[in-house]
């Protein structure tokens, strides 16, 4: 068997001429491959629920980014010249009929009405509340996912003592009850920074820190598990054989393969943080200067206002529910699209 | 040049498959014969000339110097106890003192059953593991002692082809990135020249160079293995460790890939350490073969000796397990040597000879004294007290004089065992089994 002559399958393919072709031709474009992420994106675009959710999310993002121009367009602002011009002190501080609901008809001056007692414009507060909500949720997500990814990568890839120490921190943070820690931290921070000029900024910053501090562990665990599985794949060993430095292996070889779990954890973390931010604001330990959906809910949730003026409560609630729901559904759709095992 | 017949037949990728055939969408007017296309124009050449075109079994260059010399290489993996304080309670002796040489531009085959330490040996040479002991001399440097930093420049010369083409390519990188990565890591060529070099390499391994920006998932198993080979060739290595490079492939593709490896060896003068369990492929590819059992080399020699005159009972059993078409055709039945029992645990290997628990010739000496890897021919070494051809195993141990023991394995007073019994390569003189004398060429 050792003296076999050339089989047709061995030499023929090496002997024919390479086909020259124009790199801009249709055929050449088809040769350019599709990355797995682009295939997933194509699948996502065919998912109707995902598209609707993406449109809703986009709407909220536009509201948040262009809160200033939009409120200017409607001629509303956060400033209230004089509360008594808008609210009726003799009628439980309810808005006057000419300000719109609940006692008057719809008016373009205040499309979503005004708040009882303070007379603030609801639309302006809703738009800026959306901005605060998304800003805090997005930055907390960013901080938490970057921390989680780095911790997970290091723990999973380096293993040994590094893994033990990092996993210990993950477990420790998981044992601390989030709400209790947040409730404890808020008065301490308030006391400490109450007299600073930039108190509002510090407050938002500390809110991001608190949210991120108790949000990174899930991602870290997820990424660590994925890395443990990927580490044994032969392409990582091939990278080692060619002498690739560890940092390059981590960020150029492993990280692209972790795109799916990272996107999933981000898309599920974001709505959780939006809800948590509103919840904390309602408890009085979030943003306390009033421009926040949670704060509006806190003010609206009194029996009198709710009986007479339920729209005041529904507006921020609807924003939170729509945003969280569409973010969650979008996250699920992204996970389905990225998972090659789900075929629909 | 393309491997994909669809490209040539101008079949749109979406048309491929049963649906296209049913709806008649596939254009069938393309009539050229793919097989004839691939056929080598033989014409009126004689057989010898045709054979020259083909892939014959690789031959050994007898004067080639060793490019890699492995001496007494050991790899013990610790076994940790469970619990808070994880103490080492044992060691898996995956590779326990093996020695061999890989000649320059030649190839050494490493065969053995699963778990015998073949792959570990390959990973030791590429320094995916740090050896517990021994040395691996490569160009005057001991790969076993180098730190990872010192190892980096040498990694250009020692590359590896992996077993499974489905996990050895990063699914998120294009072929161009995968094949070009070694160039970037070692900063060999400017960034602009990476793509031309990648295209050149893809052409060498028989792939369409225009496919450099495709992803691995768009290729078949054989094509993926070619990509893996191209990556290993990127740095012009001097030695390639091929860890079962064809065992994950379809049989029809195995021949293509093995022949490609032979072409590469001839063209670039690369030395191969060819790890495999398919004896037929090793026979075709490697002029020299080492048989491993439980972390040790039991027999090493050139192809003819190992396949025609094996002296170790394990090699004989291994070869008898290979189905033989010729014998089936003539109706004769060959005696099949069946090994009893399982491979012993490498954590606690048997004393003396490791094969003795399954060996039909085992006697008391086998449990007491470990047989040395004794050179018994010009290029033939065997580690057995009762080394002999099949059916002609001696009744008394052949190694007693060298080891200074009696037939039961007890030390003979006054006798001095030979100091150094095994060197990585071959010596000019050897111990002749028939005459029990040192013989020479």
Distance CA B159, CA A242 (A): 7
- Per the CB < 8 A criterion, the answer to whether B197 and B189 are in contact is yes
> How many angstroms separate the most distant Cα atoms in chain B?
89
Q: Domains in chain A, ordered, with CATH?
A: 48-78+121-338 (1.10.3720.10)
Burial class of residue A34 in the structure, from the number of CB atoms within 10 Å of its CB (0-12 exposed, 13-18 middle, 19+ buried): middle
pLDDT of residue B173: 87
pLDDT of residue B216: 86
- Per the CB < 8 A criterion, the answer to whether A224 and A154 are in contact is no
Distance CA A163, CA A222 (A): 14
In this complex, do A238 and B53 lie within 8 Å of one another by their Cβ atoms?
no
Distance CA A83, CA A104 (A): 17
A273: which 2 tokens? 């943080």
Q: Closest by alpha carbon to A72, among A120, A130, A124? A: A124
- Per the CB < 8 A criterion, the answer to whether B371 and B388 are in contact is no
Per-residue pLDDT of chain A (344 residues; tens, 9 = 90+): 444 444 444 444 443 444 444 545 555 555 556 666 777 888 888 889 999 999 999 999 999 899 888 888 887 877 777 767 777 777 777 777 777 777 777 777 777 777 777 778 888 888 888 888 889 999 999 999 999 999 999 999 998 889 999 999 999 999 988 888 888 887 787 788 878 878 878 888 888 888 898 889 999 999 999 999 998 888 998 998 888 888 999 988 898 888 888 888 888 888 889 888 888 887 777 777 768 888 888 888 888 788 888 888 888 889 889 998 998 898 888 878 876 655 44
Substitution target from B50, B78, B167 for chain A, most A beta carbons within 10 A = B167
Q: What is the dihedral of CA A137, A142, A148, A154, to 10 degrees?
A: 180
Burial class of residue A193 in the structure, from the number of CB atoms within 10 Å of its CB (0-12 exposed, 13-18 middle, 19+ buried): middle
Of B7, B162, B218, the CB nearest to A238: B162
A206: which 2 tokens? 């500390």
Of A2, A234, A256, the CB nearest to B162: A234
Of B51, B211, B256, the CB nearest to A5: B51
Per-residue pLDDT of chain B (441 residues; tens, 9 = 90+): 445 444 444 444 444 444 444 444 444 444 444 444 444 454 555 655 555 556 777 666 667 788 899 988 999 998 888 777 778 888 898 998 889 989 888 899 999 888 888 889 999 999 888 999 888 998 888 888 888 888 888 888 999 999 888 889 988 888 998 999 999 888 888 888 888 999 999 998 889 888 888 888 888 888 999 999 999 988 889 999 999 888 888 888 888 889 899 989 988 889 999 998 888 889 888 999 999 999 999 999 988 889 888 999 999 888 888 877 766 666 666 677 788 788 888 888 888 888 988 888 888 888 888 888 888 888 889 988 888 887 778 888 887 777 777 777 777 776 666 655 567 778 777 777 777 777 775
The full DSSP string for B160-203 is EE-S-TTTSS-TTS-HHHHHHHHHHHTT-S-GGGHHHHHHHHHH
pLDDT of residue A162: 92
pLDDT of residue B32: 47
What angle (nearest 5°) sits at the alpha carbon of residue B176, between those of residues B172 and B177? Answer: 50
Q: Domains in chain B, ordered, with CATH?
A: 1-29 (no CATH), 66-292 (3.40.50.300), 307-440 (no CATH)
Q: Write the pLDDT tens digit of every residue in A327-337.
A: 889 888 887 88
Phi, psi values for residue A333, rounded to 5°:
-65, -40
B264: which 2 tokens? 């590469």
Cβ neighbours of residue A152 under 8 Å, at least 6 residues apart? A219, A220, A221, A222, A223, A224, A225, A226, A227
In this complex, do B13 and A30 lie within 8 Å of one another by their Cβ atoms?
yes
- Residues of chain B with Cβ-Cβ distance to A253 below 8 Å are 170, 173
- Per the CB < 8 A criterion, the answer to whether B326 and B342 are in contact is no
In this complex, do B280 and A33 lie within 8 Å of one another by their Cβ atoms?
no
Measured in angstroms, the CA of A100 and the nearest CA of chain B are apart by: 56
Indicate yes or no: pTM above 0.90.
no
In this complex, do A17 and B1 lie within 8 Å of one another by their Cβ atoms?
yes
- Note whether B173 contacts A: Cβ–Cβ < 8 A: yes
pLDDT of residue A149: 94
Structure ipTM: 0.76
């Amino acid at each position: 068997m050792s003296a076999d002559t050339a089989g047709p399958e061995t030499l023929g393919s090496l002997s024919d001429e390479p086909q020259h072709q124009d790199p801009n031709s249709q055929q050449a474009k088809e040769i350019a491959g599709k990355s797995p992420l682009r295939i997933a994106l194509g699948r996502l675009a065919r998912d109707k629920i995902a598209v609707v959710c993406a449109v809703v999310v986009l709407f909220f993002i536009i509201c948040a980014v262009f809160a200033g121009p939009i409120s200017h367009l409607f001629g509303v602002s956060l400033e209230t010249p004089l509360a008594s011009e808008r609210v009726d002190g003799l009628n439980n501080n309810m808005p006057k009929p000419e300000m719109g609901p609940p006692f008057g008809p719809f008016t373009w001056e205040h499309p979503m009405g005004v708040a009882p007692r303070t007379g603030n414009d609801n639309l302006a507060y809703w738009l800026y509340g959306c901005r605060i909500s998304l800003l805090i949720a997005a930055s907390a997500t960013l901080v938490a996912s970057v921390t989680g990814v780095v911790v997970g990568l290091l723990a999973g890839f380096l293993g040994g003592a590094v893994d033990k120490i990092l996993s210990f921190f993950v477990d420790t943070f998981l044992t601390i009850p989030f709400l209790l820690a947040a409730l404890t931290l808020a008065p301490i921070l308030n006391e400490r920074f109450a007299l600073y000029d930039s108190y509002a900024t510090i407050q938002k910053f500390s809110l991001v820190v608190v949210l991120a501090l108790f949000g990174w562990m899930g991602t870290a665990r997820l990424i660590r598990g994925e890395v443990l599985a990927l580490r044994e794949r032969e392409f990582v060993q091939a990278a080692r054989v060619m002498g690739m430095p560890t940092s390059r292996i981590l960020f150029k070889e492993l990280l692209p393969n972790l795109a799916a779990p990272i996107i999933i954890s981000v898309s599920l973390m974001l709505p959780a943080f939006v809800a948590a931010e509103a919840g904390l604001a309602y408890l009085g330990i979030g943003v306390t200067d009033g421009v926040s959906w949670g704060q509006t809910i806190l003010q609206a949730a009194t029996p009198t206002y709710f009986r007479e003026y339920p729209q005041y409560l529904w507006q921020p609630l609807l924003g939170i529910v729509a945003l969280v729901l569409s973010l969650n559904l979008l996250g699920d759709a992204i996970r389905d699209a990225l998972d090659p095992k789900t075929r629909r | 040049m393309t491997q994909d017949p669809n490209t040539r037949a101008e079949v749109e990728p979406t048309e491929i498959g049963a649906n296209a055939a049913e709806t008649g969408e596939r254009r069938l007017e393309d009539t050229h014969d793919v097989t004839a296309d691939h056929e080598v124009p033989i014409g009126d050449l004689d057989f010898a000339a045709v054979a020259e075109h083909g892939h014959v079994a690789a031959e050994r260059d007898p004067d080639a110097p060793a490019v890699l010399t492995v001496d007494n290489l050991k790899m013990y993996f610790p076994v940790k106890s469970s619990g808070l304080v994880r103490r080492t309670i044992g060691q898996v002796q995956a590779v326990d003192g093996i020695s061999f040489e890989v000649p320059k531009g030649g190839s050494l085959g490493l065969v053995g059953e699963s778990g015998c330490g073949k792959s570990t040996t390959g990973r030791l040479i590429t320094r995916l593991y740090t050896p517990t002991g021994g040395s691996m001399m490569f160009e005057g440097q001991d790969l076993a002692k180098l730190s990872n930093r010192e190892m980096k420049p040498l990694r250009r010369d020692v590359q590896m082809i992996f077993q499974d083409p489905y996990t050895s390519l990063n699914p998120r990188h294009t072929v161009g990135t995968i094949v070009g990565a070694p160039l970037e890591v070692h900063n060999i060529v400017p960034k602009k020249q990476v793509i031309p070099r990648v295209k050149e390499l893809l052409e060498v391994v028989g792939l369409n160079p225009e496919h450099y920006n495709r992803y691995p998932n768009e290729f078949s198993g054989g094509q993926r293995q070619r990509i893996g080979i191209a990556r290993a060739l990127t740095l012009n290595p001097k030695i390639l460790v091929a860890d079962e490079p064809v065992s994950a492939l379809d049989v029809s593709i195995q021949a293509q890939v093995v022949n490609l490896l032979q072409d590469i060896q001839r063209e670039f003068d690369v030395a191969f350490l060819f790890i495999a369990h398919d004896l037929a492929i090793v026979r075709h590819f490697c002029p020299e073969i080492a048989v491993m059992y439980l972390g040790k080399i039991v027999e090493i020699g050139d192809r003819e000796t190992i396949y025609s005159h094996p002296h170790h009972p394990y090699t004989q059993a291994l070869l008898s397990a290979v189905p033989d078409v010729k014998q089936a055709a003539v109706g004769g039945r060959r005696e099949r040597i069946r090994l009893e029992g399982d491979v012993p645990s490498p954590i606690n290997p048997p004393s003396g000879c490791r094969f003795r628990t399954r060996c039909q010739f085992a006697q008391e000496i086998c449990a007491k004294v470990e047989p040395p890897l004794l050179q018994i021919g010009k290029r033939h070494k065997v580690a057995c007290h009762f080394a002999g051809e099949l059916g002609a195993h001696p009744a008394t141990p052949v190694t007693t004089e060298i080891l200074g023991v009696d037939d039961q394995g007890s030390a003979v007073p006054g006798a001095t065992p030979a100091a150094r019994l095994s060197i990585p390569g071959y010596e000019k003189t050897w111990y002749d089994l028939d005459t029990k004398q040192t013989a020479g060429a």
